[in-house]
Amino acid sequence: MRGSVFEIQPPGSFPLCVELQFQADAARDLQTISDRIRQATRSLTVFGLILTGSVARGEGTLVADPVTGNRWMGDLECVVVVPKRQIAGEVDQLLRNLEVELSSDLTYHSRGLKIGLTPMPLSRLRHLRPSIFNREFLEHGKLLWGKPKALALPEWWRQGAHEVPRRDAFRLLNNRIIQQIATRMRHETADIDPVAAEYSISKLWIELATSLSVFLDCYRSSYLERQNALEDVFVSRQSLFDVDFQSLFIARLKESMSIKFGRRPTDLCHTSERFEEVARAAARIWFWETASMLGADRDDCDWTNVISRLRGLETPRQRLRDWMRFFTHQKILHGITPAWVRSLCAVMRAGSFANAIYATGCLLEFHWEAIADEISPGPQIVKTLQRFFDSCAGSGRNQRMMLTRSAHSAWDTHLRSAAV
């Protein structure tokens, strides 16, 4: 995949999951979904459908299920390459509708399969910047159908410059935290089954390892290689963190990798405690990484520093780009209200819309129980985050639910606008 074009690799021609017994079912699912996408976009010009993520790497997760035979424990993610940016917006809405349609299909819904479809203008493919997603996308992405010769790869990739920036690894961590708070809320409202909740916890441990591996210069593009490299670094550099934390991290990473590769979680009675444990680890690594980038005190984990550290890490170019997206997608000329102005002022103090979203996600994840129980620093955090969304919802538990929903919805809009 290091040449100038992708090669067509239809479903069934490459591994999709670690457990070989589920390979045929996974290939059949992918073939059906690929055909549905092709049919749904037949009236548009599409240059290709590219499978991405762990399934493209052959690391997809399917587990045995007594009712359905097997079930998916991760998303099936695809990129749809379109001619130009203007068309990407039209395709985006079509793909969002198709995502809902496919994910709601009883055949897939009963087996836990969720489909993620993202439009990508052809020009963006040629100008992809170095990042974790882009490196894995270019190294492992599979063109299921399309026009290979039209898909030129970026120059830096063809020249072999594959280093991942630290800022991108940190962005991955923030994005995963946003996803995690949505899962925690679903767990508390019994809107997600215990197995899926445990899988989400495992996924966060793995993404913590991914982000940290970039900072420790041992990043690899596959899960197993990354795990081995990180374990070697922890052994050789035992002063990175205290011994107890490093031992816990490696133990949980091994457990998470086992679940990722198909072992069904067995202890489903202590999920809430495991959510808290991985949240503490996420906070530890989040503050360690931000301190490394800013030259700050790595032991200073005061919650009041979250917004200021995010603001300090944002470049002027990133801030300008974020505000341009914000004003474009908020459609401010169609309804400026006092509440909207109050929220805008709070977001401006955070630096950007993205900072407000990620600060909300981090503070909710790091102080989940304190916010619900209204113990310090929970009430102070809620008061700060309310300003971003101009909200008020009574008790600490209700506030936490409302802020989680608001942050996740805003995050989804933010990512969609960035993609298009």
What is the rounded CA–CA span in Å between residue 128 and residue 88? 16
The mean pLDDT of the chain is 89
pLDDT of residue 86: 57
Mean pLDDT of 1-18: 80
pTM (two decimals): 0.81
Give the pLDDT band of residue 2 (cuts 50, 70, 90): very low
pLDDT value at 357 more than 80: yes
Reported as a single tens digit per residue, the pLDDT across 172-182 is 999 999 999 99
In this prediction, residues 76-88 reach a mean pLDDT of 81
* Pair of tokens at residue 387: 């300003």
| Cα–Cα dist 369/309, whole Å | 23
Residues in Cβ contact with 394 at an 8 Å cutoff, skipping those fewer than 6 apart: none
- Name 112's Cβ contacts closer than 8 Å, sequence gap at least 6: 71, 72, 73, 196
- 316 token code pair: 């002027």
Q: pLDDT by residue (tens digit) across 230-274? A: 999 999 998 899 999 999 999 999 999 988 887 778 778 899 999
Query: Could you give all domains of the chain from N- to C-terminal order, each with its CATH number?
Result: 20-158 (3.30.460.10), 182-301 (no CATH), 302-420 (no CATH)
Pairing of strands 114-121, 75-82: parallel
Picking from 257, 254, 220, 213, the residue whose alpha carbon sits closest to that of residue 237 is: 213
